[in-house]
């Protein structure tokens, strides 16, 4: 598999999110810094998927459009959970731990489902060169979002508000 395969790039982000969750759960870690890194990664990842990957997957007859729609819905749920955690001031509080676990649950549920459905559909139905093209587009979009500071609390608030309209 080339390093640009969109499936591999998405999986790599999912594993990085899992690593960040371990740091976020560690009371001795710099949870605030880890949360900022996580927020930027989550928003850039989901936005790049919605901009570049999901629309392309809809064009394949063996990829379930309902799964794509469900993925977008789950991104919104994860954004809501992220915002709730970003709004908790004290990283050592019980509320912070509760909101963190809600975020972990939302993101892990989505990643698990996406890996079993959409990513397997992409592996089976999308040619390797097309997955590579999608990977480049995903990587570029993700980098653009990261450069814009997409995980700021202000931007996450905007995304949540826009999705609720």
What tokens appear for 87 in the block?
A: 């709004």
The mean pLDDT of 123-135, rounded to a whole number, is: 94
Q: What is the pLDDT of residue 65?
A: 80
Distance of CA 106 to the CA centre of its chain: 10
User: 36-66 burial string, b = 16+ CB within 10 Å, else e?
Assistant: bbbbbbbbbbbbbbebbbbebbeeeeebeee
**What DSSP character marks residue 63?**
S
- Distances in Å between the Cα of 98 and the Cα atoms of 59, 64, 85, 130 are 39, 34, 9, 41
- Distances in Å between the Cα of 42 and the Cα atoms of 2, 25, 61, 106, 149 are 23, 17, 28, 12, 12
Which is it for the CA torsion 45, 64, 165, 99, positive or negative?
Answer: negative
Q: What is the pLDDT of residue 54?
A: 92
Q: How far is residue 139's CA from residue 8's CA, in Å, rounded to a whole number?
A: 11
> pLDDT, tens digit, for every residue of 36-74?
999 999 999 999 999 999 999 888 877 778 888 888 999
Percent residues over pLDDT 70 in the chain:
99
> pLDDT, tens digit, for every residue of 113-125?
999 999 998 999 9
What tokens appear for 43 in the block?
A: 């928003």
What tokens appear for 107 in the block?
A: 């993101």
Q: What is the pLDDT of residue 103?
A: 98
Q: What is the pLDDT of residue 95?
A: 97
> Cβ contacts of residue 110 below 8 Å, gap of 6+?
71, 74, 75, 77, 78
């Amino acid at each position: 598999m080339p390093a640009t395969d969109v499936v591999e790039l998405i999986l790599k982000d999912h594993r990085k999110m899992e690593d960040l969750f371990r740091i976020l759960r560690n009371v001795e870690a710099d949870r605030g810094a880890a949360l900022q890194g996580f927020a930027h990664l989550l928003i850039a990842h989901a936005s790049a998927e919605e901009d570049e990957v999901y629309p392309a997957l809809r064009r394949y007859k063996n990829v379930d459009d309902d799964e794509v729609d469900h993925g977008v819905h789950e991104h919104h749920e994860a954004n809501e959970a992220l915002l709730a955690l970003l709004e908790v001031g004290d990283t050592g509080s019980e509320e912070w731990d509760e909101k963190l676990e809600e975020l972990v649950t939302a993101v892990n549920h989505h990643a698990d489902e996406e890996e079993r459905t959409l990513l397997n559909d992409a592996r089976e139905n999308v040619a390797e060169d097309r997955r590579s093209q999608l990977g480049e587009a995903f990587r570029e979009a993700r980098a653009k979002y990261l450069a814009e500071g997409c995980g700021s609390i202000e931007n996450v608030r905007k995304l949540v508000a826009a999705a609720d309209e």
